[in-house]
Structure 1
């Protein structure tokens, strides 16, 4: 199954200056719990924005840079979307974690979306693609208030393709 996972603000913002819009402690834990043990798929810029390899998850990186090297164990580099899609194995779960161009490319292929919907509009220069509500069904929502570890109210929302 292909899942997309992202934290989005009210305007669908997902990042600014190749960083997350904000750090919500609960969202980071949620991300870890969902993705642990599964392959995470990302673009090169998203990979380079990480603090390092995320333990317990194979990393697939898509880049158009032909000379991009596999510089870490656990990283599989793809230079072509079709090659990446062909490598996906039936019965396994994969999480697309960004950036914006990968979300756009996979929107028509994803089986589910795990969105942390932040109840704020934050300065952003990168956005999640529009969500066509006629193609997605909300199956779970878990709302949270702001607190000392989470600066904004947010909801964990799971959507399945109709």
Structure 2
């Protein structure tokens, strides 16, 4: 899974991000380029066009939903999406409900923790339970002329004994 979430786990409001962090966008692009990205329909529809150099797997309950881009595949469940990635590296990119479902199926979380809270958010990342997840890397990014908020890149790996219990 890959996400940017505030300290209160806020992800967005009205199908949009709550902040603008250019360096986080660059990191997202670097990590996900060349891979499959799994998302809910609303997340897909928040993009002006499909993201380049990535296969989009879009989850929707709507059996009639179609997308007219060759780099997009429509499925109707997270299980169906996971079946399409087999042993490949793939990223679950949202939204909130897809993250909740995906946590059990994921082995790694690349989280950008945005230092701030957003009470008016309507979409949230699941709380990371450190009983199941181990923080393996962190890198702080201070505020600057392009970033009004500071943030920290966090990498979590699922603990081996957690694979059975989640």
TM-score in terms of structure 2 length: 0.92
Q: CA deviation at 1:19?
A: 0.2
Out of 99, 110, 114, which is 2:110 matched to? Answer: 114
Out of 128, 140, 144, which is 1:131 matched to? Answer: 128
Unaligned runs of 5+ in 1: none
SS of match in other structure, 1:138 = strand
Unaligned runs of 5+ in 2: 160-166
Match of 1:88 in 2: 85
Contact 2:135/2:156, CA 8 A, preserved across alignment: yes
User: Residues 1-162 of structure 1: matches in 2 within 5 Å?
Assistant: 4-90=1-87, 92-122=88-118, 123-162=120-159
SS of match in other structure, 1:86 = helix
Distance 1:53 1:84 in 2: 17
Task: Indicate the RMSD between aligned Cα atoms, in angstroms.
Answer: 0.9
Give the 4+ runs in structure 1 shifted more than 6 A: none
TM-score in terms of structure 1 length: 0.94
